[in-house]
Amino acid sequence: MLTSALVTATISGSMLYTLAGVICAVLLQRWRLDPLRRISSIGPSLPVLSYLSTLRFIFHAKEMLQEGHDNACDAQSTFTHALYHLAAKPAYTGLLREEIKRVVSEDEDGWTRAALGRMWRLESFLKESQRMNGVSRMAILRFTLQDVLLSNGTLLAADAATFDPARFSSMSGEGSKNRRHFVGTSPTDIGFGHGRHACLGRFFAADELKIMLACVVMRFDVKFREEGKRPENEWFVYVCYPARDAQVLFMKRRVA
């Protein structure tokens, strides 16, 4: 039995970032209280400009650590949400497993990036999970200063509140190819942003998530302790997290 192991990893990441913040704060406080030492500690012959450059480097390193931690948390959260949907409806596992076995057997080299790109059910499952459980409820932190009238051409998906793992894999017609892809972006698919602000690392993240979910599907049968009941998400202001108290049972598959 696995009890919120991914949440524990997220907490560890938060502790790492907090520790880095404490170290930076201690260094800055030492330099602030002892101006003579802060210059000599860098080098007796270096000008103040070098001190400022070092200070800037510390801030830059902290920002990079925060960005890396945020991305790791987003990936962990996205995977956990998808795993919860799989545990709530174990019947989905068979469909995903059949596709994975078929695609891998058709590829001469087995598990390749090209093979991952042909796993449309797996791709659709992750994209639908991302649609239902976005990392943030608010994509743009801005407010309108006056009323805005939306056009009648706005498209609302049928059964938008229902999890449909085949919602994107069953799409057909002109313009649907981009929407089928997990990494595809559009004004209505902003899980990875859109336009010039689209996430540059989404291709690696998508492959990473597909590999992780595929490994779980092929090696385990998963379900909640309370079968069929997906725990409610938790919210911190406008940020969505998977439930921390969920209990998922992992049963090792016996493969002949």
Query: pLDDT (tens digit, 9 = 90+) per residue, 168-225?
Result: 887 655 555 666 788 888 877 778 888 888 888 888 888 888 988 998 899 888 888 8
Total domains in the chain come to: 1
In the structure, what pLDDT confidence band is assigned to residue 144 with cuts at 50, 70 and 90?
low
The predicted model gives 111-115 an average pLDDT of 88
Domain that holds residue 197: 2-137+163-252
The DSSP secondary-structure symbol of 88 reads H
Residues annotated within the binding site are: 199
Whether residue 153 is contained in a domain is answered as no
Confirm whether 150 is domain-assigned. no
Q: Is residue 147 part of a domain?
A: no
Please state, for a pLDDT cut of 70, what percent of the chain lies above it.
57
* CATH code, 94: 1.10.630.10
Helix (H) or strand (E) holding 248: strand 247-252
Q: How far apart are CA 28 and CA 24, in angstroms?
A: 6
**Which residues 6+ apart lie within 8 Å of 220 measured at CB?**
250, 251, 252, 253
Compute the distance between CA of residue 174 and CA of residue 29 in angstroms, rounded to an integer.
60
Q: Is residue 125 part of a domain?
A: yes
Q: Nearest 5°: phi and psi at 152?
A: -70, -10
pLDDT at 21: 46
| 144, part of any domain | no
pTM: 0.66
Whether 69 is covered by a domain: the verdict is yes
Query: Within a domain: residue 45?
Result: yes
Binding residues for heme, as ranges, are: 199
The answer to whether position 59 is within a domain reads yes
User: Are the beta carbons of 240 and 135 closer than 8 angstroms?
Assistant: yes
Token pair listed for 182: 């997990």
